[in-house]
Structure formats: structure tokens, C-alpha cells
Amino acid sequence: MSWSTYGDNCADFYDEIYGPPQANVIRALCRLARGGSVLELGLATGRTALALLAKGLTVTGIESSSAMLAQLRRKPGADRIRIVEGDFATVRLPELFDLVFALVDTFCLLTTRQSQAHCLQHVAEVLKSSGVFVIEVCRPFDAEAEITDEGIRSSVRHELETRMSRRVYEVELLYPEVEDLDALAAKAGLVLKERHGDWCGSPYKPEAGRHVSVYGLA
């Protein structure tokens, strides 16, 4: 299942999956944006983008799922977000940003190392000289995950009791090991600036599998 198909299949209950954005996530992103311009990779229904907009940031988002964007456009303030419909691994934008970010394994929806490399190259092209790229990854530990040369492949199937009915959504993910992610970033001209275990700035622990990593231009 492609990542755009995933978005189309869960758009109508996506906000029930994740709920409102966490305050510590918004605080961290605002700190890193420093009052400037922001680009979200995988805009989805605009949960995070709208919260950043409310903090006075200028927000652009790339999203491939028309169903996700339809949900976003129904929300107050959506008309103030610059929406770019397309694949964030390949879309090229003319302007530069203070902050580019991809949350909650969104980067891992790109299921080949080549597409992940293209994404990082795109990020490097659109960062201001002092800008940063933030990526959140939560590596799986399930028995179904497969370790490959490209990373850890995982087929995720979730069942959720929504307000309307019980719903199921599935998605394929490719999790790069942190060393591989750093190597891909370096090839794109990015260097690691910070790595934490969560959005509160806790120390990164490899055994935990989760990291919030911040890159800047080399």
C-alpha cells in the first residue's frame, strides 16, 4: 500500500487516531522555527500545521492524499496554510524555510532507500542556511518486522473504534537505522545537530527505538 493510498483510506478518522497535537511537540517546533517559515512533510489533516499557524508561524505543507486535504480544508484557518498537493519526496519548492519537519514516522512511509534519499536532498535544497530539519521515528519491535539491507520493514495494521464504527487501516513502513539515516542525511548535505528520545528533550536511548533528530546544513 502506497503512502498516498494509506492517507486516502484513513482520512475520515485520522484525527481520531492521533488526537490534538501534544503541547510539547508544538513548543519544540516553535523553538526550532524561531518565528520563521515552516514546511511540513505529510500535512495530512493539518493537526500540527494549524497549531503552528496559531502561534504566528508561516506554514506550508506537502500532502499527496486528496482525502486528507479535503478534511483539512473543512477546518477554520486552513485557507491560511499554503497547501502543496504531491509527493514530498519529489516535489520541489522555490522558497527556503527556517524549519522543515516530518512527524510520527511520516518519513518512513517512503518505502525505498532511494525515495528517502530523494526526500533528504529536497530538504537540503529548501532549508535556509540557519534552518533545521526535524524527523520523528518510532522503530517497531513487533515480530512481523523484517530486517533488510535498506532498514526495518514493517506492515502495520491497526483497528480503531471510531465515533461511527470500527475501522481498520494498514500501511507499509521502512525504518532506517539511525546510522543509515545519518549517512543518507550526510550525502544530502545535512549534519546531525541534536538527537533526543522524545519531544521533551530526554536523552536518546538506542534500545528504546524512538528518536527526534534535528539536522542542519553541513
pLDDT one-digit tens code per residue, 76-108 = 999 999 999 999 999 999 999 999 999 989 999
* Domain chopping of the chain, boundaries: 3-217
**Higher local confidence (pLDDT), 36 or 140:** 36
**In the predicted model, is pLDDT for residue 159 greater than 70?**
no
Q: What is the pTM of this model?
A: 0.92
Cβ atoms 48, 103 nearer than 8 A: yes
**In the predicted model, is pLDDT for residue 1 greater than 50?**
no
Mean pLDDT across 41-53: 96
Q: Mean pLDDT score of the chain, rounded to an integer?
A: 90
Measure the CA–CA gap between 143 and 133, rounded to whole angstroms. Answer: 31
Query: Residue 6 has what pLDDT?
Result: 67
Percent of the chain surpassing pLDDT 90: 72
160 pLDDT band (50/70/90 cuts)? low
217 pLDDT band (50/70/90 cuts)? very high
Cβ-defined contacts of 138-142 (< 8 Å, 24+) = 138/104, 138/105, 138/209, 138/210, 139/175, 139/209, 139/210, 140/173, 140/175, 140/209, 141/209
Mean pLDDT across 165-180: 83
3-217 maps to which CATH number? 3.40.50.150
Query: Residue 158 has what pLDDT?
Result: 64
**In the predicted model, is pLDDT for residue 54 greater than 90?**
yes
Query: Residue 171 has what pLDDT?
Result: 78
Assign residue 21 a region: left if phi > 0, alpha if psi is -120 to 50, beta otherwise?
Answer: beta
Query: Residue 43 has what pLDDT?
Result: 96
Mapped onto helix, strand or coil, the DSSP state of residue 117 is helix
